[in-house]
Amino acid sequence: MRYIAAIVTALILLGFASVSAKAQTEAAKPPQKVEELLKLLGDPDVQKWIDAQKAAEAQPPAAAQTKPNDDAAMDAAFERIRAHLVQLAEAIPALPSEIARVAGQIGNALQGYGPIRLLIIFLVFMAAGIAAEWIFRRFTGGIRAWIAGARLDSIFDRLIAMAERLAYSAASLGVFAAGSIGAFLAFTWPQLLGPIIVGYLVAVLIFRAARLVFEFILSPPEYTGFGEPSRYRVLPVSDASASFWVRRISYAIGWYAFGYTTVMLMGALGFTVPTRLLAAYALGAVLLVMGIEAVWNRPDQVKADAAEPGRGRLSAGAKNWLITIYFISLWVFWVMSAWRLFWLLVVVVGLPFAVSAVRRAVNNVLRPPGQEQGGKEIPSVLAAVIERGVRAALVIAAVIFLGHKLGIDFTAITAQDTVLTRIMRGAFSAIVILLAADFFWHVAKTLIDRKMVEASALGEPGTELARRRARVRTLLPIVRNVLMIIVAVVAILMALSSLGVEIGPLIAGAGIVGVAVGFGAQTVVKDVISGVFYLLDDAFRVGEYIQSKSYKGTVEAFSLRSVKLRHHRGYVYTVPFSELGAVQNMSRDWVIEKITMTVTYDSDVDKARKIVKKIGQDLAQDPEYAASIIEPLKMQGVDEFGDSGLVLRMKLKTRPGEQFTIKRRALMLIKKAFDENNIKLAFPTIQVAGEDEGKAAAALQLRMKQQQAAAEAAAAADG
């Protein structure tokens, strides 16, 4: 909403511009005989004779030749603007006498109806319309309650509820029109009184219609006739902004309707064209002030100034000054009758804001139920299709409209075959091609992004669904990047071809350059090709823990030539695909964890086996670990006779990544159970015989250091 005043004020100034353009067209309309002369001059035989006469005449001297066409056209434009301004200046002194003359004619035509009686009649019929609308709303309260109680469980429900609200408001406006304008037309009035009253009643109707439309788009908080207003809001704005802009825009459009009616009535009452233009420019100046006031006092500006009184003020103020200069420039170009600059400024500045407003409105209206208004969520595919389609239509319509206002004849362009017409046809075709490519790319990108969001939920570990989602998260980023490159290259080549550029040599040259780059960057090519085969072999996916040579970690992301591995200690490896070699994937299907434990030689091994089996069964039934255990913990027997006791071997089959947590829990339970059943864990001892106690102490210290180093190595291997 920051620049909505720019769009609205520009559109309303267009209306005043159409009034002045119409007045100028009426003033410039030639008499009938002149039209007949122009038709005669357009006859082919007459034109041929004139051309022959011109060819027979002697060429003028070089010094007497006219200026180039561009300079002549510019001089003609400046001369036209100067004549227009002179005409306005000459009309100012004659205003009092003209007003007196027209006032006398109006008094005679209205048959005694003075300004007071006109005002009373206008207010009476406007009150009649308001009364009719009040009766309609009173007797249709049940319909409003029914619309307000509609549940918005889906996008379709929201669209239906918004359409019902709009239809009810339109019906209420129709009742107002019937009660005011319809009631007035039921009576017979003097010749000029009818157009005057009807014109201003229509202006009030336009004001009401504008308020209805913008209440539908913005749903201000005070508009509570259908329940919570924000749920019907088309553009995602704050409540304060909604109230502010509904008032400002409806007042501006109401003023425009009043001014348009006034200028049209001035023409019917006999005012001259310059006088009507002066009135239109004065009314437009009031509208200009209203637009500038709205820009400088908009709620988001006040909030930004209050939040950041020192930092953000300069930036926001600069934007306000730019919008103010834009409004003033529009008004000045309009007054000067510089139509080409006027329309160029309107389209160039207004089109981006119109496209942005359409994008926000479509994404907000078509957001899934329960999603916050104006959120950053990925839009639906339907929203992307509609938004990009409307965007393309707006751009094409703006190009055609601007070409028409600048005097470009598209029909003649298609028929002619000059350098300029070929360039213009190619430029238009290039715009269409780029818009089509943009439409296709954003729809495809939205579809891919939504699939990636759906695949971000991992699901139950180890299931087919989880594996499929991991595969999707791995491949879709690569597909998106490749698709972007393909669409961009194809669109650029097609656009260049439409502009007349021979793309055959470009493609051939690109092929040669590609071969040269391939020879010079063999490592990069090797990385890309290796990555393709890794993906085809499904060697690893995003989220899996792999190890290759000295690299190990969780796969975080891919590019065309490398993979990012997040080590369990936090740092990230960026490994080219060609450097991976054989890959050890530690996150597929299942994993077997081996556990060894040394007990004293006098321990009851059979009893230890039963204890371990019982602990394995208890862990398999524990809700915290049951889903991760594929085969419970069990003892395989005595693995070897160690230096200090019997080495018992156990194994545990779990889902990948869960073995460490379950192993730690199992070791705690085994230690506790062995202590309770008098099964002692063996530990190395050193017995030294002799009198040299220093050597014995040194041997014991060396043995303890070796045990500590072995424990640290085992901890590092477990992660």
What is the reported pLDDT for 640? 83
Residue 526 lies in a domain: no
**Lowest model confidence (mean pLDDT) among 70-79, 347-356, 399-408, 588-597:** 70-79
**pLDDT, tens digit, for every residue of 529-540?**
777 777 777 777
Axis crossing angle, helix 312-335 with helix 273-296, rounded to the nearest 10: 170
- CA 215 to each of CA 136, 221, 241, 342: distance values in angstroms, whole numbers, following the listed order: 19, 10, 12, 30
Type of residue at 322: L
Instruction: CATH number of the domain at 512, please.
Output: 1.10.287
697 with 666, same domain: the answer is no
CA dihedral 286, 288, 289, 290 (to 10 degrees): 90
**pLDDT, tens digit, for every residue of 667-685?**
888 888 888 888 888 777 6
Residue 89 has pLDDT above 90, yes or no: no
pTM of the full predicted structure?
A: 0.63
The pair of structure tokens assigned to 46 is 């007459």
The pair of structure tokens assigned to 411 is 């029909």
**Lowest model confidence (mean pLDDT) among 66-70, 223-227, 471-475:** 66-70
| Position 14 confidence tier, pLDDT thresholds 50, 70, 90 | very low
Residue 692 has pLDDT above 60, yes or no: no
**Lowest model confidence (mean pLDDT) among 193-197, 275-279, 557-561, 682-686:** 682-686
206 with 305, same domain: the answer is yes
Residue 18 has pLDDT above 60, yes or no: no
What is the reported pLDDT for 134? 92
Please identify, among 551, 566, 585, the residue that sits at the C-terminal boundary of a domain: 585
More confident residue, 607 or 462: 607
State the DSSP string of 637-672: EEEEE-SSSEEEEEEEEE-TT-HHHHHHHHHHHHHH
Residue 310 has pLDDT above 60, yes or no: no
How many angstroms separate the CA atoms of 364 and 477, rounded?
26
| Position 459 confidence tier, pLDDT thresholds 50, 70, 90 | low
The pair of structure tokens assigned to 412 is 């003649």
Report the range out of 96-110, 426-440, 457-471, 700-714 with the highest average pLDDT. Answer: 426-440
Domains in the chain: how many in total? 5
**pLDDT, tens digit, for every residue of 583-611?**
887 777 788 888 888 888 888 888 888 88
What is the reported pLDDT for 571? 82
497 with 629, same domain: the answer is no
**Lowest model confidence (mean pLDDT) among 53-67, 353-367, 406-420:** 53-67
110 with 143, same domain: the answer is yes
Please identify, among 487, 520, 553, the residue that sits at the C-terminal boundary of a domain: 520
Residue 72 lies in a domain: no
- Angle among Cα 286, 287, 292 to the nearest 5 degrees reads 100
Q: In percent, how much of the chain has pLDDT > 70? A: 74
| Position 171 confidence tier, pLDDT thresholds 50, 70, 90 | very high
**pLDDT, tens digit, for every residue of 605-657?**
888 888 888 888 888 888 888 877 888 888 888 888 877 888 888 888 888 87
What is the reported pLDDT for 607? 86
Of 160, 164, 246, 163, which Cα lies nearest the Cα of 210?
246
268 with 288, same domain: the answer is yes
Residue 65 has pLDDT above 50, yes or no: no
Q: In percent, how much of the chain has pLDDT > 90? A: 10
Residue 42 has pLDDT above 60, yes or no: no
Mean pLDDT of 353-382: 78
Mean pLDDT of 218-230: 77
Reduce the secondary structure of 169-211 to three states and give it as a string.
HHHHHHHHHHHHHHHHHCCCCCCCHHHHHHHHHHHHHHHHHHH
Mean pLDDT of 189-198: 82
More confident residue, 115 or 698: 115
Residue 73 has pLDDT above 80, yes or no: no
Of 143, 202, 189, 193, which Cα lies nearest the Cα of 169?
143
116 with 229, same domain: the answer is yes
**pLDDT, tens digit, for every residue of 238-251?**
888 888 999 999 99
How many angstroms separate the CA atoms of 215 and 219, rounded?
5
How many angstroms separate the CA atoms of 114 and 122, rounded?
12
With b for 16 or more beta-carbon neighbours within 10 A and e for fewer, the 417-445 pattern comes to eeeebeebbbebebbbbbbebbbebbbbb
As a whole number of Å, the end-to-end CA separation of the chain is 53
More confident residue, 557 or 460: 557
Report the range out of 142-146, 174-178, 587-591 with the highest average pLDDT. Answer: 174-178
Residue 180 lies in a domain: yes
Mean pLDDT of 211-231: 81
247 with 319, same domain: the answer is yes
Mean pLDDT of 47-54: 56
What is the reported pLDDT for 290? 93
Residue 402 lies in a domain: no
More confident residue, 372 or 446: 446
**pLDDT, tens digit, for every residue of 251-307?**
999 999 999 998 888 887 778 888 888 889 999 999 999 999 998 888 865 454 444
| Position 15 confidence tier, pLDDT thresholds 50, 70, 90 | very low
C-beta of residue 639 within 8 angstroms of C-beta of residue 647 = yes
Type of residue at 402: L
Total length of the chain: 719
Type of residue at 39: K
Please identify, among 295, 312, 337, the residue that sits at the C-terminal boundary of a domain: 337
578 with 674, same domain: the answer is no
How many angstroms separate the CA atoms of 265 and 681, rounded?
109
Of 188, 194, 192, which Cα lies nearest the Cα of 270?
192
What is the reported pLDDT for 177? 92
660 with 704, same domain: the answer is no
How many angstroms separate the CA atoms of 561 and 643, rounded?
51
Report the range out of 176-185, 355-364, 521-530 with the highest average pLDDT. Answer: 176-185
Residue 206 has pLDDT above 90, yes or no: yes
State the DSSP string of 361-418: HHHHHTSPTTPPTT--PPPPHHHHHHHHHHHHHHHHHHHHHHHHHTT--HHHHHH--S
Instruction: CATH number of the domain at 619, please.
Output: 3.30.70.100
The mean predicted confidence, pLDDT, of the chain is 77
What is the reported pLDDT for 304? 46
C-beta of residue 543 within 8 angstroms of C-beta of residue 511 = no
CA 566 to chain centre: 33
318 with 195, same domain: the answer is yes
Beta strand pairing call for 562-566 and 572-576: antiparallel
The pair of structure tokens assigned to 166 is 């709009």
**Lowest model confidence (mean pLDDT) among 321-335, 413-427, 574-588:** 413-427
Residue 539 lies in a domain: yes
289 with 317, same domain: the answer is yes
Residue 404 has pLDDT above 60, yes or no: yes
**Lowest model confidence (mean pLDDT) among 217-226, 463-472, 503-512:** 463-472
135 with 262, same domain: the answer is yes
The pair of structure tokens assigned to 690 is 């002799």
The pair of structure tokens assigned to 173 is 């406006």
Residue 33 lies in a domain: no
How many angstroms separate the CA atoms of 284 and 282, rounded?
5
Mean pLDDT of 23-48: 51
Mean pLDDT of 511-527: 65
More confident residue, 571 or 695: 571
Q: How many CA atoms lie within 13 A of 537 on its CB side?
A: 11
Containing structural domain, residue 21: 4-26+97-337
| Position 483 confidence tier, pLDDT thresholds 50, 70, 90 | confident
Residue 54 has pLDDT above 70, yes or no: no
Residue 362 lies in a domain: no
Mean pLDDT of 107-117: 70
Residue 6 has pLDDT above 70, yes or no: no
Find tokens 């029909």 and name the residue. Answer: 411
How many angstroms separate the CA atoms of 57 and 51, rounded?
10
Residue 12 lies in a domain: yes
Find tokens 């409004």 and name the residue. Answer: 327
